[in-house]
Amino acid sequence: MTSLHWVTQVLEVLAALVAAPLFVGWINQCRAWLQNKSAPPLLQPYRGIRKLFHKDAVLATHASPLFRIAPYVVFGAMVCAAAVIPSLGTRLPFSDAADAIALVGLFATARVFMALAAMDVGTAFGSLGARREMLVGFLAEPALLMVIFLASLIAASTSLPAISEGLATRTLALYPSLAFTGAAFLLVLLAENARIPVDNPATHLELTMIHEAMLLEYSARHLALMEWAAALKLFNYACIGFALFLPWGSATGDSPSPVTLLASIPILGLKLLAAGAVLALIETVSAKLRIFRAPEFLATAFLFAVLGLLVHLLLGS
């Protein structure tokens, strides 16, 4: 039943492309509600992207080709990642291309290109943002890898769809180790996607920005692609989280019926709604950390992940 697998694959990438800006819009809306502000419309990120695509791009005088290529590379990496992550079904023809560890590498590629592009023009803010991004990235990556190692230890595979399927079909039991790594993953997600304790996505304040500082020199279609890629990254991380910690509801098995595939779409939507509300809540109740406290924040994530791994090895649960 390979045709259905291909349908799943195409549907999944399309869902990622369409739902990523919506997810960001939903988080912004929830956050505005929680802060007693009037919320922007749900489709606001789409409008922003459309507006940017209609504008003419302006390039800095000293921009090298790397600066122009970077948005396409970053966007491409995120679409590839979306194709590998099992968000709707676990039988993906494309998933053999990259296992979970290569997926982390894919994210790293996007990060390196973004940082290089930010340094390329030679403005102070660009290189400041790039350095900070690399600091956060190099601390977040080991924690993310540890999370993935634990999941692959439990499921005996490093392929993300296989892990997700293994976790979805096991008998229900208390896994303290998974709870620890779940906490670690949440911290990594917040740090990697420039959410509030580490970076504030809604501000352009010079002293605190990380992600926005790297995008300052971009305009028009390049900026649109970068913002879409950032939304896709958040969506991808959320889907990795679902695959590892809430794997139920996606179409599993060798020959899933089309009905389960169709049913998995609203289930994914519900999960995203809940995740967005939780993220907005976290961002509302926590204050932004000083940049020098970020290593501590990520050390905690690493600690949680390693503790999960150790507890799993010792207690077997």
Partner 1 sequence: MSNLSLDLQLLNTFAALLLLSSFAMLSQRRVVTMVNLLAWQGVLLGLATLLLAWRTGNSHLYVSAAMTFGLKALFLPWLLHRLIRRLGVYWDSEPLLNIAATMLVGLLIVIFAFGLAQPIAALATTSTRSSIGIAVAVVLLAFLTMITRRKAMSQVVGFLSMENGLFFGAMSATYGMPMIIELGVALDVLVAMLVLGVFFFQIREQFDSLDLHHLESLKEEK
Binding segment for partner 1 (CB under 8 A), chosen from 2-10, 22-30, 93-101, 300-308, is: 300-308
- 274 is written with which tokens? 């809940």
Residue of 182, 172, 211 whose CA lies nearest to 308: 182
| 3-class SS string, the chain | CHHHHHHHHHHHHHHHHHHHHHHHHHHHHHHHHHCCCCCCCCCHHHHHHHHHHCCCCCCCCCCCHHHHHHHHHHHHHHHHHHHHCCCCECCCHHHHHCCHHHHHHHHHHHHHHHHHHHHHCCCHHHHHHHHHHHHHHHHHHHHHHHHHHHHHHHHCCCCHHHHHHHHHHCCCCCCHHHHHHHHHHHHHHHHHCCCCCCCCCCCCCCCCCCHHHHCCCCCHHHHHHHHHHHHHHHHHHHHHHHHHHCCCCCECCCCCCHHHHHHHHHHHHHHHHHHHHHHHHHHHHCCCCCHHHHHHHHHHHHHHHHHHHHHHHHHCC
Under the binding rule (CB under 8 A), the answer on residue 176 touching partner 1 is yes
Which residue number, 88 or 146, has a Cβ lying nearer to partner 1? Answer: 146
Beta bridge partners of 89: 251
Residues 6+ apart with CB under 8 A from 179: 308
CB of 150: closest distance to partner 1 in angstroms? 13
Among residues 14, 274, 278, 310, which is the contact residue for partner 1, using CB under 8 A?
Answer: 310
Which residue number, 22 or 301, has a Cβ lying nearer to partner 1? Answer: 301
Under the binding rule (CB under 8 A), the answer on residue 207 touching partner 1 is no
CB of 170: closest distance to partner 1 in angstroms? 6
Under the binding rule (CB under 8 A), the answer on residue 177 touching partner 1 is yes
Number of amino acids touching partner 1 (CB under 8 A): 24
Number of residues written out for the chain: 317
Which residue number, 30 or 155, has a Cβ lying nearer to partner 1? Answer: 155
Under the binding rule (CB under 8 A), the answer on residue 171 touching partner 1 is yes
Which residue number, 125 or 149, has a Cβ lying nearer to partner 1? Answer: 149
**Can you tell me which residue has the tokens 């809540």?**
281
Among residues 75, 94, 180, 245, which is the contact residue for partner 1, using CB under 8 A?
Answer: 180
CA-CA distances (angstroms) from residue 280 to 10, 24, 30, 114?
A: 30, 10, 6, 26
Under the binding rule (CB under 8 A), the answer on residue 295 touching partner 1 is yes
Binding segment for partner 1 (CB under 8 A), chosen from 14-22, 112-120, 171-179, 197-205, is: 171-179
Among residues 173, 207, 259, 287, which is the contact residue for partner 1, using CB under 8 A?
Answer: 173
Under the binding rule (CB under 8 A), the answer on residue 174 touching partner 1 is yes
Residue 134 CB neighbour total at 10 angstroms: 14
Under the binding rule (CB under 8 A), the answer on residue 296 touching partner 1 is yes
Under the binding rule (CB under 8 A), the answer on residue 248 touching partner 1 is no
CB of 136: closest distance to partner 1 in angstroms? 14
CB of 172: closest distance to partner 1 in angstroms? 8
Under the binding rule (CB under 8 A), the answer on residue 278 touching partner 1 is no
Binding segment for partner 1 (CB under 8 A), chosen from 10-18, 73-81, 237-245, 297-305, is: 297-305
Under the binding rule (CB under 8 A), the answer on residue 313 touching partner 1 is yes
Which residue number, 98 or 154, has a Cβ lying nearer to partner 1? Answer: 154
Which residue number, 96 or 296, has a Cβ lying nearer to partner 1? Answer: 296
The residues binding partner 1 (CB under 8 A) are 154, 170-174, 176-177, 179-180, 295-296, 299-300, 303, 306-307, 310-311, 313-317
